[in-house]
């Protein structure tokens, strides 16, 4: 499989192996945070430079519309399916996790497409940003509907109660504010705007930063992600096998849905592949951080362990080439 011969992916595999054997290899948290911010900034700049060239087209509007549609449909369907076999709070948390997106999976796919020479639009970075928040808001609404009538009543006037013993109610406005002003997401959008404004001149100036360093920084970050994924595999011990299967089958189903929508809307292969990856990915940073406070009744070992321990490695090693290959075969 060509993806496994990519140095960045091999560093991820190496990180998983090092974590599995309990090596003391470790990337300091501050360095990991810097790498994450660098990748988002570089991605935003690349997207902005691309948009400065292509402009806002009908396909841009169509693809962004499909991204928002998927961000609503995926968590809604996931919740309805999961609550048949899990407690409602766990179902809401997992639905939010799989309804949102993984920026690292998206960035790895962008690099894969560039290596393959497959064209895609810079606006797909904006699609990723748009898909971050809807699932979080929906999950909190799902959870709130499960709580005692008294808690629901206390949540009137646009307030979403956190549940017994968790302090003051969480207002819908606060969720929206935190979602849309999150530092990483804001950096991505800000860099995209700067790229659009500066155009070709900015691209030439920033090429050593946003292009030449990108591959090495991605490899370093995926090494850290491999270590983290391996160390979270223990979270899944004793969990039902059907949940582990869900962590693989759900991304495939979501990607298939995205491919069908892209084909119906006439979206190009590169953009469709990225839409598939976004639909198939699961958040393991932003959403779990919110869910720990917004849905404390849910088990972090489930939604965090599944997304980082199973889905992320599956998508990085197997999913990306699979989704890109299907998009190119059907839409190319």
Spell out the domain ranges in the chain.
30-225+247-331
pLDDT (0 to 100) of residue 105 = 93
pLDDT (0 to 100) of residue 108 = 92
pLDDT (0 to 100) of residue 176 = 61
pLDDT (0 to 100) of residue 152 = 42
Q: Using CA of residue 249, residue 251, residue 257, residue 260, what is the dihedral sign?
A: negative
Q: Alpha-carbon distance 47 to 191, whole Å?
A: 9
What is the end-to-end Cα distance of the chain in Å, rounded?
A: 20
Burial 297-322 (b: 16+ CB within 10 A, else e): bbbebbbbbbbbbbbbbbbbbbbbbb
Q: Which of 78, 64, 93 is closest to 278 using CA atoms? A: 64
Q: Which of 98, 118, 131 is closest to 321 using CA atoms? A: 118
Beta bridge partner(s), residue 160: 170
Distance, C-alpha 144 to centroid of its chain: 24
The answer to whether 308 touches 228, Cβ cutoff 8 Å, is yes
Q: Alpha-carbon distance 80 to 101, whole Å?
A: 19
pLDDT (0 to 100) of residue 139 = 85
Q: Which of 324, 217, 238, 221 is closest to 280 using CA atoms? A: 324
pLDDT in tens for each of the 332 residues of the chain?
A: 556 668 888 898 899 999 999 999 999 989 988 988 898 898 889 888 888 887 778 888 899 999 999 999 999 999 999 999 998 899 999 999 999 999 899 999 999 999 889 999 888 988 888 888 888 888 888 887 887 554 444 444 444 444 444 434 455 566 666 666 667 768 888 888 999 899 999 999 999 998 889 889 989 988 998 898 888 777 777 788 999 999 999 999 999 999 999 999 999 999 999 999 999 999 887 787 778 777 888 888 888 889 988 999 999 999 999 999 999 999 97
Class of domain 30-225+247-331: mainly alpha
Query: Would you give the DSSP letter of residue 165?
Result: T
Q: Alpha-carbon distance 246 to 252, whole Å?
A: 10
């Amino acid at each position: 499989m060509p993806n496994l011969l990519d140095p960045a992916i091999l560093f991820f595999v190496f990180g998983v192996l090092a974590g599995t054997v309990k090596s003391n290899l470790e990337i300091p948290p501050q360095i990991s945070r810097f790498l994450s911010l660098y990748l988002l900034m570089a991605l935003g700049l690349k997207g902005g430079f691309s948009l400065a060239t292509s402009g806002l087209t009908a396909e841009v509007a169509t693809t962004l519309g499909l991204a928002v549609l998927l961000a609503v449909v995926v968590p809604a369907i996931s919740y309805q399916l999961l609550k048949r076999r899990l407690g409602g709070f766990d179902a809401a948390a997992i639905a939010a996790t799989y309804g949102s997106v993984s920026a690292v999976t998206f960035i790895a796919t962008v690099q894969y497409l560039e290596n393959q020479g497959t064209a895609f639009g810079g606006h797909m970075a904006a699609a990723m940003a748009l898909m971050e928040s809807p699932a979080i808001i929906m999950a909190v609404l799902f959870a709130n509907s499960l709580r005692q009538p008294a808690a629901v009543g206390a949540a009137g006037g646009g307030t979403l109660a956190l549940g017994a013993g968790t302090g003051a109610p969480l207002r819908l406005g606060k969720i929206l504010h935190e979602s849309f002003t999150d530092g990483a997401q804001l950096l991505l959008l800000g860099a995209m705007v700067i790229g659009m404004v500066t155009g070709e001149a900015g691209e030439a100036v920033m090429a050593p930063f946003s292009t030449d360093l990108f591959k090495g920084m991605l490899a370093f970050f995926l090494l850290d992600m491999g270590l983290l994924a391996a160390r979270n595999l223990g979270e899944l011990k004793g969990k039902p096998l059907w949940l582990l299967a869900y962590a693989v089958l759900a991304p495939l189903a979501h990607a298939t849905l995205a491919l069908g929508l892209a084909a119906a809307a006439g979206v190009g292969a590169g953009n469709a592949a990225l839409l598939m990856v976004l639909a198939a990915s699961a958040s393991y940073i932003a959403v779990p951080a919110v869910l720990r406070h917004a849905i404390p009744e849910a088990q972090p070992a489930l939604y965090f362990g599944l997304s980082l321990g199973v889905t992320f490695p599956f998508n990085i090693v197997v999913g990306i080439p699979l989704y890109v290959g299907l998009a190119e075969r059907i839409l190319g």
